[in-house]
Amino acid sequence: MTKNEALFNYTLRLGDDSLILGQRLAEWCGHGPILEEDIAITNISLDLIGQATNLLNYAALIENKDRNADNIAFLRLEKEYCNILLVEQLNGDFGDTMMRQFLFDAFRKPLFEMLQFSKDKQLAAIAEKSLKETKYHLKHSSEWIIRLGDGTEESHQRVQNSLTNLWRYTDELFFTDESDTLLGELGIIPDFSKIKEVWSANVTAVFEQATLQIPANNWQFEGGRKGRHSEHMGYLLAELQYMQRAYPNMEW
């Protein structure tokens, strides 16, 4: 595997994570529990889609096959997406959405903090810009997890159920293969074991404040990084890709 092939794979993964989670959060627009939260979730969705645009444009540049972010985002088959399974899970109730967001944000913040020192200048610049947004995302989702977990009996039980259901998707956050190994050796991406240490410490601290228990069941789902997705992905892509499929080459 060449450096460019590995860098394309890695950048595509980051872009797909942002794209798919951004699309999921966009489904909340107009449906938030309160007006302020409706606006907040929509803005986070826009942040993630902006990150996806930067990452997928860079992936297209690396690939050098006359594609751009739009082509990559809208004109692939389901098996060609390499996002983690966590981000494609259904929104569920507000607790489900916030738990999914928190588990993701707690990973993305240390990732971008370390990635901004990458030897790849473009990837470092994207990480630096994205970090400013991700710090807010993590603050927002952490506060909601604590508020719901340490709130009423019902809110506690609901968000505990959310954690129990979503925890089994978290191991894939730290998926690595030969692309990651090569880029790590070249100083382009950080050591995932260091990111996991920070992530584990952060989620444990927040769950203690929220009086939530990490599930004892260690069963983990995976496959998204290899193009094997859940039953939800096809429905999500049908909506995401509709306009581009119906009106080829359209631009805003």
Contact 150, 211 (CB under 8 A): yes
Q: 140 lies in a domain?
A: yes
**Cβ-based neighbours of 157, under 8 Å, separated by 6 or more:** none
pTM confidence score: 0.96
Q: Say whether 251 sits in a helix, a strand or coil.
A: coil
Amino acid sitting at position 140: H
Number of compact structural domains in the chain: 1
Q: 159 lies in a domain?
A: yes
Q: Which domain holds residue 41?
A: 3-212+224-246
DSSP for residue 89: S
CA distance 2 to 186: 12
| pLDDT at 140 (0 to 100) | 98
| pLDDT at 218 (0 to 100) | 77
Q: If you average pLDDT over residues 85-101, what whole number do you get?
A: 97
Tokens of 76: 């692939």
CATH number for position 15 = 1.20.1260.10
Q: If you average pLDDT over residues 189-205, what whole number do you get?
A: 97
Weakest mean pLDDT among 58-62, 184-188, 248-252: 248-252
Q: 84 lies in a domain?
A: yes
